[in-house]
Amino acid sequence: MPATIRSLITSDNVKLRVRQYAAVTPVRGVVICLHGVQSHSGWYEYSSQQMAAAGFEVYFADRRGSGLNGRQRGHADHGQRLLHDVRQLVRLVRQYHPDKSITLLGLSWGGKIAAAFAATFPDLIDRLALLCPGLEPKIGPNWWQRIQLSFARSHDIRHKHVLLPLNDSRMFTDVAEHQQFIDDDPLALHAVTSGFLNAGRDLDQILRTQATNICQPTLLMLAGKDRIINNAQTKCRVDEFSSQHVTTIEYPNAQHTLEFDSSRDRIVRDLVTWLNWP
């Protein structure tokens, strides 16, 4: 079934688009999904439909400034702003499904938001799924760029645009069809603002200081040939969580975007199996 496009008005009066995939069987639970820095919810139609077919109501939000949200492309004022956007969506979904378990699923950079949210608001979600999460990236600002970002933060320079170093679709997948999709995608994000990059540093700080607050059952999925995420350091970071149940699955031949992997059927089955775990 195709998605229904919903709208969420944030506390600072920004309209965010959310793709909703209705469960085709009696609802077993709810999955709220957060995408990566360059992508948007439209990249993840296949897995969203498969989760819905398995009985999970899926809400996939386009992050402010991304995807179908055209206002202030690539921008966020600070990390708390991104977390508050997610909190509003979680609270709205909880009203729709008051008796259902909510899983927060973060992909790539969205995994940074999801984990920071779980640390900041541990009582608002029931489970956490991290797919190639941006907790410990291989690609990031160098020392000089970090100085520039600190200067931008101290002088309230929020809207200086910075090109993303992720414009090679081969970094995401080795499947030619999906590489072409990424190359042709008019909604993909190719630049962000200094404010957005500093928002990411805010989230990193939360994870450095509050990772032990993360107590939800957690799924960690990793791609063995990931050129964007440092898998070893990511595992170490997840080890800092207080979660009593952490399931780690690594796909040795996969690249960063599991949605576009040649083995995605198996990967999505593994995800659904975990979601069905009591």
User: Quick one: pLDDT at residue 278?
Assistant: 75
Number of structural domains (the chain) is 1
pLDDT value of position 2: 87
pLDDT of residue 167: 85
pLDDT at 142: 86
Residue numbers in the chain where pLDDT is lower than 70: none
Q: What is the pLDDT of residue 40?
A: 98
**Range(s) of the domain holding residue 199:** 4-276
Summarised one tens digit per residue, pLDDT across range 169-192 is 999 999 999 999 999 999 999 999
Q: What is the pLDDT of residue 60?
A: 98
CATH number at residue 131: 3.40.50.1820
Backbone angles phi, psi at 18, to 5 degrees: -135, 125
Angle between helices 79-96 and 194-210 (to 10 degrees): 70
- On whether the CB atoms of residues 44 and 267 are closer than 8 A, the answer is no
Please state the pTM of the whole predicted model.
Answer: 0.97
What's the number of CA atoms in the CB half-sphere (13 Å) around residue 218? Answer: 29
Angle between helices 143-154 and 194-210 (to 10 degrees): 100
CA dihedral (50, 52, 58, 62) positive or negative = positive
Instruction: Output b/e per residue, 221-245; b: 16+ Cβ within 10 A.
Output: bbbeebebbbbeebbebbeebebee
